[in-house]
Structures are given as C-alpha cells and as structure tokens.
Amino acid sequence: MKIRRWLAAGLLFAGVWVFVEGPALRPRSVLATFIIGLAVGLPLAYVFRRLYSETVKVGGILIALPYSLLYISYFLKEVVIANIDVAYRVLAPNMPLRPQVILVPLRVETEVGITTISNSITITPGTITLDHDPEENALYVHAIDGRHPEEIVEPIRQWEDYALVIFDEEAAPSEPAPEITVHPPGHPPEPKTVPEGGLTEIDRDDQGEDTDD
C-alpha cells in the first residue's frame, strides 16, 4: 500500500510532536497534541512536498518512525551537551579555542536528508554548516574548537545513520563513512585529509606548534 509522501511526512511530524510535547497520558490530551501536530505538520509537508518522492510505502513509515524518535533523542542530547560546553567556555575564557573548518562527506543523498543533517549541525551550539559541496556531496562544518575533529563528526555520523533509514536512502548505516577533510587555519587550496579515527602524531605536533605560536 502506498500513500502520498507529504501526507506521510505530516503524520510522522504529528507523531513526533506528541513525543516532544509530552502531554499527560490521557486520551484527550494525547489526541489534542496529535491534532496540533497535524495542523502544523501537514501544511509544512505539503509546501515542501517537492523535497519528497511522490509516494511512500506504509511499511516504510513504520520502519522510519522509531528511527525518527532515536534521531530526535540523540539530537536533543547533543544540544544539551553542546550548550553546557559553550556556556563553560564563556565562563572560563582561559579554555583553548581553535576554530576549524571540516569537510564532511555524506552518505545521504536526498535533499531532505542533507537539509535535515545540515540544520541539525547549525542548531547545535558550537558548530554551524557553512555550505554544501554538491560535487563532493559534503558539508563544510565550522567548529569553535576543532582540535579533535573526530569528536565533532561523531554525532553527525550518528544522525546520518538514522537519516539513511528514515529517508530510505540507497546507502546503509553499516557502510563505512567517507574520510573527513580538515582545513588548517588560512584555508590552503589543498586541505589536509585525515581519517575519521583521528589525526596522526605528526598532525598533532603541527597543531601544537601552531598553538604555541
């Protein structure tokens, strides 16, 4: 059985809204919150319907719903952690800051998937999506402290794993993620590519020398 994807997206938004709003566990309260979610979600989904394929399988919605809840839960956790981190940096000005731009290749390919992840990055304090490279299918991510780029990219990859299922992407979460690219201060024409497992000792020594300067 297939239904219009924008309609499915609106219904999904309403379900997620019930989870986010957390109404009292009474039928009337839950139903009222769900209706509010529909009133907001359906018009938005219809306006942005060109981002979706025309139809979607009902079974796919049932698979996507739990992953959507996982995405939101993990996203909210990262927002809380990032808020605390940024607040601490404001209150402790002696904490080292090393602004960094990281090129993060993506496995998601749909416009709605890329938009969801890029917006999640921007909403999270301490990071912002600067641009999307369509040829590389990669996001330019700016971080206020990029000394450990693998730690910055870790939640992005987790969001992407969920998004691959939610938006029925061709790639699977089990597929290895592409390597990230770290742009040192000055943004040279040829950026320095590092594996997501971390920087090499030479890279760390170079960064240490730059910090000492």
Domain 95-212 is in which class?
A: alpha beta
CA atoms within 13 A on the CB side of 152: 30
Task: Give CA–CA dist 44/172, Å, rounded.
Answer: 28
Report whether pLDDT(176) > 50.
yes
For the stretch 67-102, pLDDT in tens is 888 998 899 899 999 999 999 888 887 877 888 899
Q: Which of 1-10, 74-83, 129-138 has the lowest mean pLDDT?
A: 1-10
- Sorted by where each begins, the domain ranges of the chain are 2-52, 95-212
Residue 172 reports pLDDT greater than 70: yes
Q: What are the phi and psi torsion angles at 182 (to 5°)?
A: -100, 130
> Within a 10 A sphere around the Cβ of 134, how many other Cβ atoms?
8
Confidence band (pLDDT; 50, 70, 90) for 183? confident
> How are beta strands 192-194 and 127-133 bridged, if at all?
unpaired
